[in-house]
Amino acid sequence: MLRTLQAAILAAIVILIAVAPVSATSRIKDLANIEGVRQNQLIGYGLVVGLNGTGDTLNNIPFTKQSLQAMLERLGVNIRGAQIRTGNVAAVMVTANLPAFGTQGTRIDITVSALGDAKSLQGGTLLVTPLLGADGNVYAVGQGSVAIGGFSAEGEGAKVTKGVPTVGRVSNGAIIERELEFALNKLTQVRLALRNADFTTAKRIAAAINDFMGAPTAEPIDPSTVQLTLPKQYVGNVVGLLTEIEQLQVEPDLPAKIVIDERSGIIVIGRDVRVSTVAVAQGNLTVTVSETPQVSQPNPLSRGQTTTTPRTRIGVQEDGKQLHVVKDGVSLQQIVDGLNALGIGPRDLISILQAIKAAGAIQADIEVM
């Protein structure tokens, strides 16, 4: 009898564990960024040469012609007043991201985009191009062969273009010349910036850090920021502290939200979306108009004329469907199953969700992109 009771209790525990919801935890590393550890955008203007006649039309693009003349003059070639008709040069904008803690001599990738009417950058070479930051200083210099991900071919009667042949990339094409100074190890306080602002998530992150450290070192300042005061044993070793806490597991809390993209018909429903008791019906009205003109011939040997008599047939069909009741407090899966039972498409589903929201029966925000 005792063994039977123990077996029953054990089976009940197993069932409870099986049906218990599994919490989706994430690392702090994936939930927040370290304030100050960031990339910086760089931009520059340059020339791509070596194109097979697919470059800018110099008569139509004056800045390409001026840039070519200025570059040749710096190299000791004077072409002022001369007629230039080359089609192998294109003016481009060069962009890149300066990584955090990027050191001098480190190479980074750059993106090259045509600025004029060039047809393709295939086979071109970017000449030395200074890359400037928002403060106007040069932080990197780019140069190299441009690789594009598309192509363009045309003849007298047809043209084929795949991808974007006027945008290319130079792998490791820029060398960092100036560093951004950021003394991370000298900080006495570190701020964690949440990627998705939320009060509950910020509090859980601070609680996880305090439990790990054994002292109240972390404090949520606002829904997007958690401030961390360095303990004495980690002063001068911020990297060591961040390495420890970024692996801590935290369950993020998400707001109840429905995101709708009306252009593509995409609908994303959050896990915590709940619906009050409502009845939903959806019907389609189809109107069919068909034209079957009939030719009318005159009698033989008469002076009549052949005419066409129009005949229009109009049909109206309304697909009436029964009301479906969506019960109070149903889960996401039940919402999806209930709406799918109506046999509707994404477009109609968008209208139904907006109608339920207008009725005040959805406890969630609807964001239309």
Non-local CB neighbours of 274 within 8 Å, separated by 6+ positions: 256, 329, 330, 331, 362, 363, 364
State residue 21's pLDDT score.
Answer: 45
Given a contact cutoff of 8 angstroms between Cβ atoms, the answer to whether 140 and 176 are in contact is yes
Give the torsion through C-alpha atoms of 365, 366, 367, 368, to 10 deg. Answer: -170
DSSP letters, 31-61, are HEEETT---EEEEEEEEEE--SS-S--TTT-
The β-bridge relationship of strands 189-194 and 257-261 is unpaired
**How far apart, in whole angstroms, are the C-alpha atoms of residue 64 and residue 81?**
15
> From first to last of its 369 residues, what are the pLDDT tens digits of the chain?
445 444 444 444 333 333 334 457 889 999 999 988 889 999 999 999 999 889 999 888 999 989 998 899 888 888 877 788 888 999 999 999 999 889 999 999 999 999 999 999 999 999 999 999 999 999 999 999 999 887 666 666 666 777 789 999 999 999 999 988 888 888 889 999 999 999 999 999 999 999 999 989 999 999 999 999 998 888 888 999 999 999 999 999 888 888 888 777 788 888 778 777 777 666 665 555 565 777 777 777 667 677 777 765 656 555 655 555 656 666 656 666 666 666 666 777 777 778 878 877 788 888 887
* Cα–Cα distance, 353 to 132 (Å, whole number): 48
| C-beta of residue 317 within 8 angstroms of C-beta of residue 286 | yes
Element (H, E) at 368: strand 365-368
The sheet carrying 257-261 orders its strands as 266-269, 257-261, 365-368
Token pair of 303 as six digits: 């002076």
Angle among Cα 12, 18, 22 to the nearest 5 degrees reads 135
The model carries a pTM of: 0.69
Distance in angstroms (rounded) separating the CA atoms of residues 99 and 104: 12
Q: Which residues pair with 190 in a beta bridge?
A: 228
Q: What is the DSSP letter of 96?
A: E
Residue with tokens 């390495």: 243
User: Which residues, 6 or more positions from 323, have their beta carbon under 8 angstroms from its beta carbon?
Assistant: 279, 280, 281
Q: To which residue do tokens 């009205």 refer?
A: 285
Q: Which two tokens stand for residue 367?
A: 């964001």
Q: Tell me if residue 110 falls in helix, strand or coil.
A: strand
Closest alpha carbon to 280 in 358, 178, 199? 358
Name the nearest CA neighbour of 108 among 34, 42, 181, 38. Answer: 42
Q: Which two tokens stand for residue 160?
A: 């084929």
DSSP for 253-282? ----EEEEETTTTEEEE-TT--B-SEEE--
Structural Rg of the chain based on CA atoms: 34
> For position 2, what pLDDT does the model report?
42
CA distance 315 to 87: 62
SS3 299: coil
User: What are the beta bridge partners of residue 307?
Assistant: 296
* The amino acid at 191: R
